[in-house]
Chain A
């Protein structure tokens, strides 16, 4: 069983929809949680970072962490075609490596 599970998708939504992306994990020691976005033929780029449990909002993006359920989410409001990409969750205990989910492909249709 992988430490971090993420539905690969693809997830196809119409423009303007609210998108919910999720990851579950098994290691209760994870303290730091991130979401990366990866466009085709590009490297991942950091979208959101959250420490421990709670919510964090940045523009159209909201990250949620529920440590009791070992579940993290990324919500995208008013989705745009430019949001079409692969979204990767990542988490860390407190060292120099990140554990990534396998990524969810998102397609926002105009």
Chain B
């Protein structure tokens, strides 16, 4: 069974640019969550999508946005990049999105460096 696939794995951008990251969940999983991981803050929740609907959003500025397609694949976009956006962006999929049992399956992440 294929795992969660994130692309690209590594990318370098400059301040002011925008970036789009992609996530393909495990087959049959309809929920996709996005987390930002930095050394200082750890993993922080960005947003969660289920059946193309955003159900929950974390405390990030509007520059961070996402969407989910009918095949459950998801993209997140960061516009007007800032140096502080440098991080590992992790996507996690699950069947229902309910995290009470912790059954989130994470991808290997997209490492973004902003210069």
* Chain A positions near chain B (C-beta within 8 angstroms): 6, 31-32, 34, 36, 41-46, 49, 51, 88, 90, 92, 94-103
Which positions 91-110 of chain B face chain A at CB distance < 8 Å? Answer: 92, 97-109
**By the criterion CB–CB under 8 Å, are B55 and A96 in contact?**
yes
**By the criterion CB–CB under 8 Å, are B33 and A90 in contact?**
no
**By the criterion CB–CB under 8 Å, are A43 and B106 in contact?**
yes
**By the criterion CB–CB under 8 Å, are A96 and B104 in contact?**
no
**By the criterion CB–CB under 8 Å, are A97 and B33 in contact?**
yes
**By the criterion CB–CB under 8 Å, are A95 and B102 in contact?**
no
* Chain B positions near chain A (C-beta within 8 angstroms): 4, 31, 33, 35, 39-45, 48, 50, 55-56, 58, 90, 92, 97-109
* A44/B43 contact (C-beta < 8 A), A49-B102, A95-B99, A98-B102 known: yes
In the bound complex, CA of A31 to CA of B101 (Å)? 10
**By the criterion CB–CB under 8 Å, are B56 and A101 in contact?**
no
In the bound complex, CA of A43 to CA of B31 (Å)? 17
- Of all chain A residues, which has the CB nearest B97? A96
| Of A43, A99, A102, the contact of B108 (CB 8 Å cutoff) | A43
**By the criterion CB–CB under 8 Å, are A43 and B103 in contact?**
no
In the bound complex, CA of A94 to CA of B56 (Å)? 12
Contacts of A51 in B (CB 8 A): 100
**By the criterion CB–CB under 8 Å, are B101 and A101 in contact?**
no
**By the criterion CB–CB under 8 Å, are A32 and B58 in contact?**
no
**By the criterion CB–CB under 8 Å, are B102 and A46 in contact?**
yes
In the bound complex, CA of A41 to CA of B107 (Å)? 10
| Of A32, A94, A97, A102, the contact of B42 (CB 8 Å cutoff) | A102
* A43/B90 contact (C-beta < 8 A), A32-B101, A98-B99, A101-B42 known: yes
Contacts of A92 in B (CB 8 A): 99-100, 102
